[in-house]
A and B are shown apart, each in its own frame.
Chain A
Amino acid sequence: MTRTAGFDRLLYWFGLIVIAWAVLTFLLVPISAALHAALFRHGGLEIVDAVAELVSSRRVRAALWNTAWMTAATIVTVTIVGMFQVAVLEYFRVRGSGFLKVAFSTPLVFGGVVAAAGYNFTYGPGSAITAALTALFPSIPRDWFIGWFGVLFAHTFLMTSFHFLFLRAAMRRVDYSTIEAARSMGASELTILRRVVLPVIMPTLLAVTLLTLHTVVGSFAAPQVLGGRDFHMLSQMVLTLNSLRRPDMAALLALLMGMVLMGLILLSQYFEAKGAYTAGAKTTTRIQLRQIRNPLLRTMVHALAYLLAAIYLVPVALIVLFSFAPASSIGIEMLPSTLTLTNYARVLGGGTAFVPFFNSMLMGSAAVVVGLAITLFAVPIMVRKRNWLTQALSISFFLPWIIPSILLAVGLIVAFDAPNPLVGNAVLLGSYWLLPIGYVIFSLPLMVRFMRSAFIGIDPAFEEAARAMGASGPYRFRRVVLPLVAPTAILVAGMKFNTLMAEYPLSAFLYNVNNRPLPIAIVEGAVSADPDQAAISLVYVTLIMAFSLTVILIAERLSLGRTPETSNL
């Protein structure tokens, strides 16, 4: 017994040292290297010039303004759509809610460059919908979707995943007995929603809004693909400045974004702490779906719900459908007239088309597993012991979130382009390993964010009971805590894996000749005029979506019927 306890202790300290080394080597050193290289490479005062150049640039000012108003507008529209989804799935009785749930879950697996390209494929100048519209109303320009409208549209429907995940969970935590009590006292449906339901979900709603805000401020793919010439946002400017070999200006702009984002993260942690106390009764009555009495209103809610589902499913369906189409029909036919498995045979047949897929699967799963191992080890310590060390660790894990991935890539390059004593004097740049390491760093913030909520949400009574019955620390962790956080872990692993399969900036900077990943191949395929390439990209996208959707639905199934605390945010 003492021997195993001693071994556990050894493992604990060993783990702690490894994490401290990893955080120093792969987080703090690269980030400070990036900032140093960017801001002080010509001595100190050059920063003033860089700021002056930024301020005087017309396009930087425009990007700042666009980002500000687009963020505000997106928050409004996303909140409306997200709350409507939650109401349809968890509050009102709506026919076919299983189907609606699948439709509304698509943003979890359909995001980034892939989704933006999918929207362009569906609504853009060359799309079937545009062809139909212009045939009906000749005055509509072919690029009607391109510009701020397309960006706002894409944001509105692609950024509801946090609502789907967390606001629904919060709605399930509403104690139905409070609703019944209010009704028995004669409260109207509206009053119940406003005075009983809303206060319970409010902390989650605020946290979700902040997470969404964070996503909009850093939005890149949507404005890049759908913004056209007149609408661009800050993250595009960062990329442009970097490609103009002005990393100092890029870093300054990125830092400005980073500070805003850091403020948002701190705010969301504040609301999270608050939410933990307002979670409601210990033994709640499960909420029962409400029938909408007014027939007109009921029809309208159904119509809106199915319209929304159509908006979500049409781009995905088109991509899946065209992945089975002969390469020659892509971009030519509105709907494929014949279907074939050739494209799939080319990807899965093990030829050159298979290599990027294999590389990404391998690096993506390795990064997710390592990231999860770090998170599962570090987060419980960070949650339980609150001191300056764990605080510093917690802030370090969030750094990659406020540092744009481009800057992170630059940092990794600068830190490891020469022999570095922290990694045994190896030169990591150009090697196989730098990209998977970058993937792990890039995955940490979201994993830590979600797992933190999961660990905080565990009712201390479980552990107390286990301890009272004499279970050791590691045993409690394995048999009590781990099963409680497992659904969140699987979910976040699935989401992150999906993001990594489509992660562009880090991949583009860090890949080498032996690990060319999928995002690079997809972008090449999208740029290439060769229709075979475009067909293969569609297959890649379909496979990734299918894989991630499976993982997420499994996690969703696992988390159903568990204590509501597991999906606390």
Chain B
Amino acid sequence: MKLSLALASAAIALASAFPAFAGALTIYSPQGGERAVWIAEQAKAAGHDIKLLNAGGGELFDRLLAEKNNPQADVVLGMVDTSMALLKKEGLFQPYSPSWATDLPARYKDAEGMVHKFWQTPIVLAYYPDRLPDAEAPKSWLDLTKDEYQGKYVLGATAWQTPRMYLAGILVRFLDANGEVSDEGWEFLSKLYAHAIIANDADSYTEAFKSGRASLDLNWLGGSFKLAKDLGAKVKVIDTEGGTPILSEGVAIMAATDQLDEAKAFVNWWGSADVMAAYAAKFGQVPVLPEALAKSPPAVQENARLVKAQPIDWDAIAPKLDGWLQKIELEIR
């Protein structure tokens, strides 16, 4: 037993030598994989000492709320409108007006001056013309329940950001006078699920397209292009009747940061026109800063005009979303 104790203390001594990575600016961001690598590399090259923690949007949101009394993050980067609004409500952020905020259109800034949006991401309905002739493509999200599209589209897990957003985009069309979803809305959604291929993970989502079953992609714009590239096929985005839900990703500095100067410097750098344009050139994400958009490749500028926006008040929807998703998970799918 003494041996085990000695081993235990050795292990603990060894372990305590590693945890300390103080000094780096900790950034929570849902941008993972090659995007995270790019952000880390570019930030380092610009002289910012950062450490990124990547996780799904929902998971990061829960984590930020849980860590309320011992915040680990200095900056929150790239979470969508609804999440940023709720986190702000919890008092996690502090006001700061970045150097690039003056030219930012008003609808990408908040009244408190805490959250500044830098990208816009349409959640699109797209189709593969080699599988579905142009004339037969749906015109609206509400066409999806028609019999001819049965088994031709994939619904992802409700834990993911994208399905949450298009489901919300569909349900807001069925709000009654009291702001509740009507029975007609839930019937539509039941049918939408009944006719769909369901994917719980990214592999089975891709598999549905690889096997040729799916011809309609409900995805965020960049994701839709990436899938098409992986499949080696051509995809066409539909400018739907009734509009397309468009999200904006924002950045904010945590109220509890102990590295305020570094955080400000990072936010100034991140949102600047050059960095945004470089990111756009690399990953095709559409910046909302006019100067950044002007510097972006023509294809990105074209993407900015691809679809017209569905009018959605995300801040009003944010508190209702959980209840809707619960109904979907427990009753409908």
Contacts and interface: CB of A to CB of B under 8 A. Distances in A.
A243 interface: yes
Contact of B51 (A427, A431, A513): A513
Contacts of A243: 58, 159
B19 A514 contact: yes
A246 B329 CA distance: 12
B330 A365 contact: no
Interface residues of B, number: 53
A513 B15 contact: no
B1 A373 contact: yes
B72 interface: yes
A224 interface: yes
A58 B201 contact: no
A59 B202 contact: no
Contacts of A246: 326
Interface in B60-116: 66-72
Interface stretch (B4-12, B234-242, B292-300, B303-311): B4-12
Interface string A110-136: 000000000010000110000000000
A225 interface: yes
B310 to A, nearest CB: 24
B11 A427 contact: no
Contact of B329 (A59, A477, A508): A59
Given A362-B14, A363-B15, A427-B70, A376 B4 contact: yes
Contact of A417 (B11, B14, B67, B331): B67
B211 interface: yes
A488 interface: no
A416 B201 CA distance: 32
A369 B8 contact: yes
B11 A373 contact: no
Interface in A235-288: 240-241, 243-246
Interface stretch (A71-79, A382-390, A458-466, A521-529): A521-529
Nearest to B201: A527
B71 A430 contact: yes
Interface stretch (B26-34, B126-134, B268-276): B26-34
Interface in B277-333: 322, 325-326, 329-331, 333
A124 to B, nearest CB: 8
Contacts of A372: 4
Interface string B226-261: 100010000000000000000000000000000000
Given A225-B201, A429-B69, A482 B326 contact: no
A396 interface: no
Q: Which 4 A-B pairs have the closest CB atoms?
A: A432-B19, A427-B70, A57-B330, A229-B198
Interface of A: 53, 57-60, 120, 125-126, 142, 224-225, 228-229, 240-241, 243-246, 362-363, 365-366, 369-370, 372-373, 376-377, 413, 417-419, 427, 429-433, 436, 477-478, 482, 508, 512-516, 524, 526-530, 533
